Amino acid sequence: MLINNVPWTRPVTIRLQCGLERSFTGAYDALDFLENEWPLRHGERYDRAVRTCRGALNGAIPSVIARESFLAACLEADMPAVMAPRKAGPQPTLGSLRTSRYSAI
């Protein structure tokens, strides 16, 4: 198995059974957690998450599939994902709206 991490486009943050939150940035982080700290060592979704994270690290499975499998395993183990609030970008001003509207003409 490759040691290199396969990063996800968006990290996954879950709420552990003890109430703490933990973030995972890629397949390596998730697989390490699944193999060494997972509260349940059984379950269909757990098994699938282990397989897909390994496959992502070996380049055989897209990282997005591993991410989704990891999320499903977390739900199976009663560790829900925590949704991060959307970061607010700069609000357009009236002047910038006029400029962009006229620049398109």
Whether 41 is in a domain gets the answer yes
Whether 92 is in a domain gets the answer no
What total number of domains does the chain contain? 1
pLDDT, residue 54, reads 96
Of 67, 59, 61, the closest CA to residue 27 belongs to 67
Whether 11 is in a domain gets the answer yes
Range of the domain at 24: 7-76
Whether 95 is in a domain gets the answer no
Whether 40 is in a domain gets the answer yes
Whether 60 is in a domain gets the answer yes
What are the C-alpha distances in Å from 30 to residues 62, 64, 72? 14, 12, 12
Indicate the pLDDT class of residue 1, thresholds 50, 70 and 90. very low
Q: For the segment 69-105, what is each residue's pLDDT rounded down to a tens digit?
A: 999 999 999 999 987 655 555 555 555 545 544 444 4
For range 4-26, the mean pLDDT: 91
Secondary structure class of 84 (helix, strand, coil): coil
Whether 48 is in a domain gets the answer yes
